[in-house]
Copies of this chain bind each other. A is one copy, B any other.
């Protein structure tokens, strides 16, 4: 069996984006894309030159096939995807009045992905990876999904696969009261934790990046995303702030966190010093928000290198 750098899994949905910057109620035209935090990370890593596997349970319908083909087309290993006739593929609608005013409407309750369960995991597949990436979305989908996440983490730990955990708190799926104990349990098992600043505050009840990082403990790599300001990291005695990149025009803020995760994991796979890996995360995030779509803007290895070296495309030379 081919060894993969990273394995991740979770629900990817078909995203219908309103084509006009107007409330969805008045939009007449919608375009079809895909959206899913874990597949965003998988595609981001693949594009940066790593080998990645992603899987989910998909509806045996055109939308399930579309997701599968899109992600497989990107070069991600999708051989562990499972189709079901029992539920349709989850979808959602994205309303974009302006880059400052984005809302989403889900049709994911009772979706195919919510039927994912521990029995769907291939132990050998996970065991062969260097990193397992999990998010706080999956345990919110259903009890069987929650069990699957913890089983996957358990497999990883037994096989010395490092676990990267991105909280991705989704208050449309569960309340903070429901979410906190589950996410803290995930955090406790993880080797790398990537909360946003607000997420860190909510989970820890503390107020500064330093305090939040301490809350999660010294033996883990904790990286707290600070938006345009960059990020704060702590691992044992190492800690510090890594400045963000200036984004001249935010076109679409969605996907920044997933791009950050892809950049950081890529840096870790390359055995970069932590501040370098964090800078890589900042860079991927900054590139992503300058392009429409969750995955469309994820940079190739070459694009990322150019960006890190300061090349910008502001001047047009045909």
Interface residues of A (CB under 8 A from B): 16, 19-32, 61-63, 65-66, 68-70, 72-75, 88, 91-92, 95, 97-107, 109-110, 169-172, 198, 248-249, 251, 253-254, 290-293, 296-297, 312-318
Q: Establish whether residues B95 and A107, one from each chain, have CB atoms under 8 Å apart when the complex forms.
A: no
Given A97-B251, A110-B109, A169-B317, check contact A296 B69 (CB 8 Å).
no
Judging by beta carbons under 8 Å apart, are A16 and B30 in contact? yes
Q: Is the CB of B293 within 8 A of A26?
A: yes
Give Cα A249–Cα B318 distance, bound, in whole angstroms.
22
Flag if A291 contacts B97 (CB, 8 Å): yes
Cβ-defined partner of A61 (8 Å) among B98, B105, B249, B293:
B105
Judging by beta carbons under 8 Å apart, are A251 and B172 in contact? no
Nearest-Cβ distance from residue A96 to partner chain B, whole angstroms = 10
In addition to A20-B292, A28-B31, 7 A-B residue pairs with Cβ atoms within 8 Å of each other are A26-B293, A29-B32, A72-B75, A91-B107, A97-B297, A98-B291, A100-B312
Cross-chain contact A32 with B28 (CB below 8 angstroms): yes
B residues within 8 A CB of A24? 62-63
Q: Across the interface, name the chain B residue whose C-beta is closest to A66.
A: B25
Q: What CA separation (Å) do A106 and B260 show in the bound complex?
A: 33
Q: Nearest B residue to A227 by beta-carbon distance? A: B315
The 6 closest A-B pairs by CB, nearest first: A73-B73, A69-B73, A25-B62, A28-B28, A26-B296, A101-B313
A246 to B27 CA separation, bound complex (whole angstroms): 26
19 A–B pairs (Cβ distance < 8 Å), ordered by A: A21-B251, A22-B292, A25-B66, A28-B29, A29-B29, A61-B105, A62-B105, A72-B73, A91-B107, A100-B248, A100-B313, A100-B314, A101-B314, A102-B313, A103-B316, A106-B318, A109-B110, A110-B110, A198-B315
